[in-house]
């Protein structure tokens, strides 16, 4: 009963795939009593995962995601780690399976995706986009984020990713507004604070749009460039 009260599931299978040991967490997740499970459940009953079945059959050590089959119906998402055990002669005798319930993580991921989808819809309806931009002009930092709606407002391809600040000013900001935009950026940096600015952009399709940009400024650190966090609204219809 070394793993009887473990916070994760532990199960042992013979090379033929028959369950010969399981802790209480595994039995609870599967909705089976020990009598119903030991010597009766096979690895195929536990999960349809071909990776798991192959690891048990061949004595492989591996880690992967799999869906566990519940006796009451439905499945349980899990991270599975297989650890083969060999006797003194080197013969493969069993595979100990470690199971981590990923239900909470899966639920959190689904909620995050739903929240992001709702935010994207709201931004599209209100013509709001958000962005991060740093003052490393030559390249765009890999951790910068632009919302889908900001890409749409700019008329840029989402798959390309955020562009460097200098390129944004040169290719997106209207030529007549570039100096005013640069002056705004310089003032924010000098005062270590954000602000509000209105300017026009020109899309790759030649369309002129009026934007209102409200931002916060994060001063440069020892190893990071100064960075803007902003919300942009397309106010073209209000400006016409």
> How many beta carbons lie within 10 A of that of residue 14, not counting itself?
17
Chain center to CA of 133:
21
Tokens of 225: 């460039």
Q: Measure the CA–CA gap between 8 and 26, rounded to whole angstroms.
A: 8
CA distance 223 to 240: 44
At residue 207, the pLDDT reads 93
User: What is the Cα–Cα distance from 105 to 193, expressed in whole angstroms?
Assistant: 37
pTM summary value: 0.49
Report the alpha-carbon angle 76-81-82, nearest 5: 120
In degrees and rounded to multiples of 5, residue 206 shows phi and psi of 90, 5
201 closest CA partner among 162, 159, 233, 161: 233
Cα 100 to Cα 7: distance, rounded to the nearest angstrom? 8
In whole angstroms, give the CA distance from residue 188 to residue 194: 5
- CA atoms of 70 and 208, how far apart (whole Å): 57
* The pLDDT of residue 119: 60
Residues of the chain with pLDDT under 70: 1-7, 104, 114-127, 135-143, 222-224, 239-240
Rounded distance between C-alpha atoms, residue 100 and residue 6, angstroms: 11
Tokens representing 115 are: 């929240």
Q: pLDDT at position 19, please?
A: 93
């Amino acid at each position: 009963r070394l793993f009887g009260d473990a916070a994760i599931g532990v199960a042992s299978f013979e090379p033929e795939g028959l369950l010969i040991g399981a802790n209480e967490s595994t039995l609870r997740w599967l909705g089976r009593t020990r009598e119903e499970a030991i010597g009766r459940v096979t690895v195929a009953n536990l999960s349809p995962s071909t990776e798991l079945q192959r690891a048990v059959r061949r004595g492989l050590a591996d880690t992967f995601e799999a869906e566990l089959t519940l006796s009451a119906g439905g499945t349980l998402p899990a991270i599975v780690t297989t650890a083969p055990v060999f006797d003194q002669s080197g013969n493969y005798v069993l595979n100990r399976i470690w199971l981590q319930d990923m239900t909470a993580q899966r639920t959190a991921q689904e909620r995050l995706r739903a929240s992001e989808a709702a935010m994207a819809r709201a931004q599209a309806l209100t013509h709001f986009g958000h962005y991060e931009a740093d003052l490393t002009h030559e390249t765009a930092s890999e951790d910068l984020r632009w919302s889908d709606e900001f890409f749409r407002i700019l008329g840029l391809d989402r798959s390309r990713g955020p562009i460097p600040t200098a390129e944004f000013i040169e290719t997106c900001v209207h030529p007549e507004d570039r100096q005013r935009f640069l002056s705004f950026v310089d003032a924010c940096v000098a005062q270590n604070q954000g602000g509000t600015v209105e300017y026009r952009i020109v899309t790759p399709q030649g369309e002129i749009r009026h934007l209102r940009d409200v931002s916060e400024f994060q001063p440069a650190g020892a190893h990071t460039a100064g960075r803007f966090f902003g919300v942009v609204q397309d106010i073209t219809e209000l400006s016409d």
